[in-house]
Amino acid sequence: MQIQFVRNIQFTRLIKADGRLREFNFRKMMLLQDTLFSIDVVDDRGNRIMFRMGKTDGGWQILPQQPLPTWVTEQEKVLSDMIQEELNN
């Protein structure tokens, strides 16, 4: 019997979006052969916004899904940089 360990990656970063400092929570997950990051953040009303980012040639990109607030999509490059920085550590 062979045991395989998979490193679980979870981290939180504070990012200024829409004029406020917001807490973005990242969690790495594997779906078949793809590596994705599930990200969640709370909006002004306390509703949790959840979305996924996938790896592309140019970095990490928000995957097509339900409409996201513009203050989330505007932070795509910053989120991509945060993921890459965590993976490099």
Q: In what order do the strands lie in the sheet with 10-17?
A: 10-17, 20-31, 34-42, 48-56, 59-62
Q: What is the pLDDT of residues 63-76, one digit of tens each?
A: 998 899 999 999 99
CB 41 within 8 A of CB 52: no
* pTM of structure: 0.86
Q: What is the pLDDT of residues 6-52, one digit of tens each?
A: 778 899 999 999 999 999 999 999 877 788 999 999 999 999 999 99
